[in-house]
Amino acid sequence: MREGECVSCGECCKKLRITGILSNIVRQHGTLEDAEAYYSYHGVKLVDADKISDRALLEIDRKCDQLSEDNICLLHEMDKKPFICRKYPWFKDDIETCGFTFREEGGLFGF
């Protein structure tokens, strides 16, 4: 469970994170290792995979267009921010400088 508040550090906006269906990824690539290699050739990192929830977390070093030069989100008003941005960070180790802390709840993505 995530607790705390945003300190406007901008770190959460410097990477694009995508949730994939693990079984589909393995079916498409043959093995998780082959998928990881293929993704890495395209600048995509397989950050985590959870067989129980059938989810994979992919990450791309791609800064959000709404992040200003001084690392402030231009959509910081909660009514303008996309849902996924309001819910970030998902993991306790996503960003060290973040104002959020985590209480253990179990499972990938807190599910």
Task: Supply the range of the domain harboring residue 75.
Answer: 2-105
The strand order across the sheet containing 55-60 reads 16-21, 55-60, 44-50
Which residue from 56, 70, 33, 44 is spatially nearest to 109, judged by alpha carbons? 56
pTM value is 0.70
CA distance 44 to 58: 7
- Whether 79 is covered by a domain: the verdict is yes
Characterize the bridge pairing of strands 100-102 and 44-50.
unpaired
Residues 73-107: tens digit of each pLDDT? 888 776 778 888 877 776 666 666 777 777 766 55
- Whether 110 is covered by a domain: the verdict is no
- Whether 84 is covered by a domain: the verdict is yes
Q: How many domains does the chain have?
A: 1
- Whether 17 is covered by a domain: the verdict is yes
- Whether 111 is covered by a domain: the verdict is no
| Dihedral sign (CA 14, 16, 19, 21) | negative
- Whether 38 is covered by a domain: the verdict is yes
